Amino acid sequence: MASRVLLLTLLALVLSQAIASDPSPLQDFCVADKNSPVFVNGLVCKNPNFTTPEDFFFKGLDQPGNTMNKLGFNVTLVNAMMLSGLNTLGISLARLDFAPNGLNPPHTHPRATEVFTVLEGTFYVGFVTSNPDNKLFSKVLNKGDVFVFPEGLIHFQFNVEKTNGVGISGLSSQNPDVITIANAVFKSNPPISDDILAKAFQLDKKTVDWLQTQF
């Protein structure tokens, strides 16, 4: 009896992992109806009789993003909100533009694995494994190189060149979302107590207060 319970428990765990991603479509497509007031896990399907080729089309990914900011970085995301035909297909795309020495700072995608391809430039990239090892896997990438960042792991991309850099990322979710670590920690609303942050980062409270003002 105990072995049967253990087997069922293991089976449940395996099945939960198997479906722990965007759900598979049950029809040819489910173009998002962004005007629907109905709230669902994802986006409501538009009546297929009213679907047009424009629902599967996005224009403008050839245009550079504005990198005039502190990080020298810009992302142009094409997800189901931008391209309705992506709804339920479990995939999205992003153009990443970098100024010289631009940085996409440490962040994570809670719902997606990312595949990053270098179009122009040279990048130092990497991701960190979960506790307790926190092992860094990093690599210098050149034009045409590809690197994968596993789902949920903290990762970064840094343009090491003195010229602009460009990359394209494919993400395994129609809504991968992003959590930028520094923003989440020092820019939360309401703010996390400086007592907590000072202890977590082993810093004095004045330093924590200063860091919070930077965001």
Closest CA to 141 of 106, 162, 164, 116: 116
66 CB-side CA count, 13 A? 2
CA atoms within 13 A on the CB side of 119: 14
Query: Three-state DSSP class for 135?
Result: coil
Query: What residues form the annotated binding site?
Result: 104, 107, 109, 114, 155
Neighbouring-strand partners of residue 158: 103, 124
Tokens of 141: 């990438």
Q: CA geometry: angle at 14 spanning 12 and 16, to 5°?
A: 65
Q: Which of 124, 48, 36, 131 is nearest to 85 (CA)?
A: 48
How far apart, in whole angstroms, are the C-alpha atoms of residue 59 and residue 15?
38
DSSP structure class, residue 52: -
Token readout for 22 is 């965007």
Binding site per annotation, positions for Mn(2+): 107, 109, 114, 155
Residue positions in the annotated binding site for oxalate?
104, 109, 114
162 C-beta neighbours (distance < 10 Å), count: 8
